[in-house]
Amino acid sequence: MNIIESILQQMPGISQAQKKFMVILFSTILLVYGKVNFTNMARYSYLSKKIYRRHFFKGFDFP
pLDDT value of position 1: 59
Contacts of 47 (CB under 8 A, 6+ apart): 21, 24, 28, 41
Residues in the chain: 63
| CA–CA distance, 30 with 62 (Å, rounded to integer) | 20
Select the more confidently predicted residue: 1 or 52: 52
Structure confidence by residue, pLDDT tens digits, 20-29: 999 999 989 9
Q: Average pLDDT of the chain?
A: 88
